[in-house]
């Protein structure tokens, strides 16, 4: 294991909790409809700096060194990196983070949201391989959305309102006694389209292979058509890739009655024999 912020238990657990508390606060004051993935970088950066990482090491919306016209949600540079070194290249760039919000279309197979999750994971894997960087993916959202649309554990409960199905919204605060959380916590039971991509308990690993010929409209083929490599003399695509994901930290399952939000962090690596 590398010596990274994301793989330090204090940091990773704090990031997951901070994202959940921040989302819970936005929910409580009625601003949850204004939440966007880009806004997640602020509570995460605040949490990292509060744990002792110098703010000068953190860059938000970093221009991607490998893919043209793309940006990375958040990166962390090595200690003692100068401003010139940070602005010049990615030599001292150490950790890479991409963020996603779980929503209703997240679990629609081959939808635009499904492709966006795929793109984040594959983009991180390529950067891990070509750039030798430690890369991490964070998914978060309302607890029921995370459970239903990402974990795929069960359908959301609904009530009939005229001719429309209305999702029951929980009003309790995310903040609860730890003992109460511990009593109700259970393991997730994944059964959705991501069950083969991600493990849903800390330390669990998954390995998945993607082939360019798998699907014409989803997956590796549209990714490679959309993501243009800056230096094609140095880096080139292949028709098959194999990716390993490892769950670093995650909100426990079974906490629907005490948590309004959930989050998880996964390390993303490329199997070098497939590139």
Task: Give the pLDDT band (50/70/90) at residue 167.
Answer: very low
87 vs 164, which has greater pLDDT?
87
d(CA 178, CA 180): 5
**What does the DSSP 8-state code read for residue 177?**
-
Mean pLDDT for 47-67 is: 93
pLDDT value of position 166? 39
pLDDT of residue 68 exceeding 90: yes
pLDDT value of position 174? 45
251: its two tokens: 């909100």
Mean pLDDT for 23-31 is: 90
* Interior/surface letters 132-162, b for 16+ CB within 10 angstroms, e for the rest: ebbbbbbbbbbbbbbbbbbbbbeeeeeeeee
89: its two tokens: 């290249």
Mean pLDDT for 216-243 is: 96
pLDDT value of position 176? 42
Residue-wise pLDDT for 102-116, tens only, equals: 999 999 999 999 999
5: its two tokens: 């912020």
Q: Which of 84-93, 115-124, 233-242, 262-271 has the lowest mean pLDDT?
A: 84-93
**What does the DSSP 8-state code read for residue 216?**
S
Three-state DSSP class for residue 71:
strand
Task: Give the pLDDT band (50/70/90) at residue 155.
Answer: low
- One DSSP character per residue, 103-165 reads -GGGGSTTSHHHHHHHHHHHHHHHHHHHH--EEEEEEEEEHHHIIIIII--SPPPEEEETTEE
Provide the whole-model pTM: 0.87
254 vs 160, which has greater pLDDT?
254
pLDDT value of position 178? 45
Cα 93 to chain centroid, rounded = 19
177 vs 273, which has greater pLDDT?
273
Task: Give the pLDDT band (50/70/90) at residue 84.
Answer: low
11: its two tokens: 């940091």
Residue-wise pLDDT for 182-213, tens only, equals: 567 899 999 999 999 999 999 999 999 999 99
pLDDT value of position 199? 98
The full set of domain ranges for the chain reads 9-274
Which residue bears the tokens 């005229």? 162
């Amino acid at each position: 294991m590398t010596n990274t912020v994301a793989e330090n238990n204090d940091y990773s657990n704090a990031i997951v909790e901070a994202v959940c508390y921040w989302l819970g606060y936005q929910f409580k004051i009625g601003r949850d409809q204004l939440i966007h993935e880009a806004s997640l970088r602020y509570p995460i950066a605040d949490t990292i700096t509060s744990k002792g990482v110098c703010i000068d090491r953190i860059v938000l919306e970093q221009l991607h060194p490998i893919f043209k016209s793309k940006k990375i949600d958040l990166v962390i540079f090595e200690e003692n990196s100068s401003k010139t070194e940070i602005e010049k290249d990615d030599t001292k760039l150490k950790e890479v983070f991409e963020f996603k919000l779980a929503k209703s279309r997240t679990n629609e197979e081959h939808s635009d949201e499904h492709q966006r999750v795929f793109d984040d994971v594959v983009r991180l894997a390529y950067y891990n391989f070509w750039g030798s960087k430690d890369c991490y993916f964070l998914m978060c959202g309302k607890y029921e959305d995370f459970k239903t649309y990402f974990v795929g554990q069960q359908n959301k409960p609904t009530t009939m309102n005229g001719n429309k199905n209305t999702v029951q919204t929980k009003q309790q605060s995310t903040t609860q006694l730890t003992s109460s959380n511990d009593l109700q916590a259970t393991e997730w039971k994944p059964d959705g389209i991501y069950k083969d991509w991600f493990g849903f308990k800390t330390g669990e690993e998954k390995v998945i292979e993607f082939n360019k010929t798998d699907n014409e409209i989803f997956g590796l083929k549209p990714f490679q058509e959309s993501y243009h490599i800056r230096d094609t003399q140095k880096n080139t695509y292949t028709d098959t890739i194999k990716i390993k994901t490892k769950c670093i930290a995650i909100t426990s399952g079974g906490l629907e009655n005490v948590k309004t939000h959930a989050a998880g962090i996964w390390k993303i690596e490329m199997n070098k024999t497939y590139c």
